[in-house]
Amino acid sequence: MTRLQTFWLQGVLPILMIGILLPLGLIALFRAALGSSMLGTIEHGELYLAGGNAAFTGCLVFASSRVDIPAKVAIGVLPALVLLTLPCYALWALLTVLTMRGEKYSSTIATTGGGYAAGLCIVIGLVFVYYSHRPEDQQSP
C-alpha cells in the first residue's frame, strides 16, 4: 500500500467512523427510530463526544504504530489526552446530565463550542496519524 492509502485506512477512516459517525449517527438513528426530529442531534454535547473520540482515536493510532519511540509517543499523547480528550468527555457528560435533569444551559456552548472542540480534536487526531506513518522517522533493524 502507498503511504496515502495507509494514512486513509489506518487514520482518517477510523477517526471519521469512530469519532464522528458512530456517536452522531447512532444518536440520529435512534431519534429517527423513536419518531423524534433529527435536528436536535447535536444540541446536548454530542459534538464534544465526537471530538473526544477523534482525538482519542488519533492517539491510539500513534501509540500503536510507533512502539519504537515510546518516549516521543508519551510526550505527544499524554498532553492531548489530558488537555483535549478528557475535557471533551467531561463537557459531554456535564451537558448530558444537565439535559437528563431538565436544567437549562446555553445551546451555543453545546453547538458552537462543541463544533470548535470537535474540529480541533479532529485536526490533532489527523496530525497524530500523519506522524505515526512518517517513513523518515522509522528506524531500520
Give the integer Cα–Cα distance in Å for 46 and 99: 12
For range 105-114, the mean pLDDT: 90
Which of 16-25, 64-73, 88-97, 126-135 is modeled with the greatest confidence?
Answer: 88-97
Amino acid letter, residue 73: V
Residue 140 reports pLDDT greater than 50: no
Give a yes or no: residue 125 inside a domain. Answer: yes
Does a structural domain hold residue 12? Answer: yes
pTM equals 0.85
| Residue that wins the pLDDT comparison between 104 and 7 | 104
Does residue 43 lie in a domain region?
A: yes
Share of the chain above pLDDT 70, in %: 94
What average pLDDT does the segment 60-83 reach?
92
How many structural domains is the chain composed of? 1
pLDDT reported for residue 52: 95
* 18-54 tens-digit pLDDT: 888 888 888 888 888 998 877 777 888 899 999 999 9
Give a yes or no: residue 37 inside a domain. Answer: yes
DSSP secondary structure, the chain, as one string: --HHHHHIIIIIHHIIIIIIIIIIIHHHHHHHHTT--GGGTTSSSHHHHHHHHHHHHHHHHHHHH-TT-HHHHHHHHHHHIIIIIHHHHHHHHHHHHHHHHT----HHIIIIIHHHHHHHHHHHHHHHHHHHT-GGGPPP-
Which of 69-78, 84-93, 101-110 is most confident? 84-93
Residue 68, phi then psi, degrees to nearest 5: -80, -15
In a domain, 111, yes or no: yes
- Domain with 45, as residue range(s), is 3-134
Reply yes or no on whether the pLDDT at 58 is more than 80: yes
pLDDT of residue 136: 54
CA-closest candidate to residue 127, choices 27, 15, 1: 15
Evaluate whether residue 141 is within a structural domain. Answer: no
- Please give the grid coordinates belonging to residue 97: 446530565
Single out the residue of 122, 110, 112 nearest to residue 53, CA to CA: 122
Residue 139, in any domain of the structure = no
